[in-house]
A and B are shown apart, each in its own frame.
Chain A
Amino acid sequence: MDYFTPEQHTFMKTVRDFFEKEVNPHVEEWENQGIFPAHQVFKRCGELGLFGITYDPKYGGSGLDYWWTAAYAEAMGGSCNCSGIPMAIMVQSDMCTPALHDFGSEELKEQFLAPSIKGEMVGAIGVTEPAAGSDVFGIQTTARRDGDHYVINGRKIFITNGTQADYVTTLVKTDKDAAHHGFTLIVVPTKTPGFSVARKLDKVGNLSSDTAELVYDDVRVPVANRIGDEGLGFIYQMRQFQKERMVAAFGAVAGARKALDATVAYLKQREAFGKPLIAKQYIQFKLAELSTQIELARQLNYHCARMIAAGEDCVRETSMAKLASCRLSREVADRGVQFHGGYGYMNEYPISRYRRDSRLGSIGGGADEVMMYIIAKLENYAA
């Protein structure tokens, strides 16, 4: 049973070849530097068509169905030797542009979406704040209307691509008295006076990707930079989160399979007590369990892809897929390190980087607890 068409396989080979030949040789260097040259790498991603898979050809997209996004995320997660760069790329393809594509004005799309699809611009998504993460309602960055401009004040934190971005799709409060309808999404060019990078953050993993804290100090942005309607930002962002969570899930499962394969390869050549470690039935059984779980998570992701491609509402399934996939990648990482023994604790072994990187999956893009909250609510578990 093959879920992908021959053309999708050709595309997946392109994605794998790109990462193996053009990205992986630089991963060590970029991980050490704590940043990768986003403009240079994104240009190539744009040429290969990674940024506009499902988007309207009018803006340079390919207008394809969700299976192509699944193919892309799976091939990327399964071939890149780190998680930081795929994450940075997915921010552009599926996190800071979906609302712009679906609800932005023609002018705004010409200005920001088309160059993002080409890979000529680097984007970021600004939702999380120092005092508001999972509790998106709690964000305090405000935008005040002043003629045909918004004046934005506040701070955003943990922003991927933050030090290199040309624009940040920023969620702000436009009406402090309104609940759901008090938020607005605005595209903020980073060269606007008053916008600054407070600091580049020192993370535990995903080291090759730059992450920043951003400051908005009386940042004046034309009202034309607003995505869709004022007051609908929260709703747009909740939709946008679905895309983010799904590519995270596909990437996590592909990464878990890659890490398990690497662990198996190690266990086949590592000898202890006169035999390769893989000869131990305990180890074989653990690997079999993990492999089964990876397959289960993969099938749930494919189920989501089917639902998304059919245009069905699948917030419940997407939340489950993200929860299951990202949790699983942590389990595979920890088990992989354990089976590598001392070598697994050494930075020079890929499993060690994978363990650092995989930890983020259960925190970013909606923490495990947020996923559980959504699932519990949709399942009507409240008293």
Chain B
Amino acid sequence: MKIAVIIKQTPDTETVVKINDAGNDIVGTGVKYVMSPYCEFAVEEALRTKEKLGGEVVVVSLGPDRVLETIRTALAMGCDRAIHLKDPAYEGGDGQATAKALAAALKTVSPDIVFAGKQAIDGDQSQVAVRVAELAGLAQATIVTALEIAADGKTAKATRRSEGGGEVVELKLPALISCEKGLNEPRYASLPGIMKAKKKEVKELKPAELGLEGQVGAAGAKAKRVKLLPLAERKAGRRIEAETPEAAAAELVRLLREEAKVL
């Protein structure tokens, strides 16, 4: 089985990010980057699929030099080889431009199944995975929390999370699965795994090698981010003053119902 997994490097959730002077991006210096957590589920599911059905897992990621560290992490977890889309021309793209590049890179792999995170935790657009499936002509199931692939590798049954419930879909392979929390518990990169990852192949592909010159990155983008808005300052808490605990509780319930409207 040919298995591919698309991953994205994002700022660590614990990093405090600052908006740049131009107001349209974050300040990159001092930011700690990690694999986007939903991509970790995708890598884990790719590895489990390989362990069950055999084959090879190819990691595909787009981004600058620093992305190599995240690619190495995926290789250390057990993926076999990687494709790194690294070129200044890839920078500044939107979901469509990025998906175009990734779909073209996947074509060089001809995967039976592709795993991706349901969204990246930085842009939160949930665009890339679905666009890749569309551009690559793959069936797709998004926000997947459980997956069963038939032993013959021809079909899969995916459980999707939806608001308040779920849905089970059957897919014909080749397909793309976008992964949601709960699908699995990602493994860590073991020290022996980290050592082995050093020797695994990471192939760089330029836009020209994909036949996409002038169509990726900012040049291929249909949407452009013009502004980032900072999080609203958190309002100070409010102290409930009352004669008795009972009265305080009653007041709290009233505020939660009438003002916060959460009850």
Contact = CB atoms under 8 A, between A and B. Distances in A.
A49 B192 contact: yes
B190 A17 contact: no
B247 interface: no
Interface string A1-30: 000001101110110011000000000000
Given A10-B69, A13-B34, A53 B191 contact: yes
B7 to A, nearest CB: 14
A19 B192 CA distance: 18
Contact of A48 (B69, B190, B198): B190
A50 interface: yes
A48 B193 CA distance: 8
Contacts of B192: 49, 62
Given A7-B198, A11-B194, A62-B195, A17 B69 contact: no
Contacts of B198: 7
B72 interface: yes
| Contact residues of A: prevailing secondary structure | helix
Contact of A49 (B34, B69, B191, B197): B191
A7 B192 CA distance: 12
A271 to B, nearest CB: 12
Given A18-B188, A48-B188, A10 B73 contact: yes
B72 A6 contact: yes
A10 B195 contact: no
B191 A14 contact: yes
Given A6-B72, A7-B198, A10-B73, A62 B188 contact: no
Contacts of A68: 191
A62 B76 CA distance: 14
A10 B189 contact: yes
Nearest to A15: B188
A14 B190 CA distance: 7
Q: Which of B72, B76, B191 has the most CB of A within 10 A?
A: B191
Interface residues of B, number: 16
A17 B188 contact: yes
Nearest to A18: B188
Given A7-B194, A7-B198, A62-B195, A14 B72 contact: no
Given A7-B198, A13-B34, A62 B72 contact: no
Interface in B60-86: 68-69, 72-73, 76
A47 interface: yes
A116 B198 CA distance: 25
A7 B68 CA distance: 11
A54 to B, nearest CB: 11
Q: Which of A6, A14, A50, A68 has the most CB of B within 10 A?
A: A14
A7 B69 CA distance: 8
Interface of B: 34, 68-69, 72-73, 76, 188-195, 197-198
Interface of A: 6-7, 9-11, 13-14, 17-18, 47-50, 53, 62, 64, 68
29 contacts: A7-B72, A7-B197, A10-B72, A10-B73, A10-B76, A10-B189, A11-B191, A11-B194, A13-B73, A13-B188, A13-B189, A14-B190, A14-B191, A14-B194, A17-B188, A18-B188, A48-B188, A48-B190, A49-B190, A49-B191, A49-B193, A49-B194, A50-B191, A53-B191, A62-B191, A62-B192, A62-B195, A64-B191, A68-B191
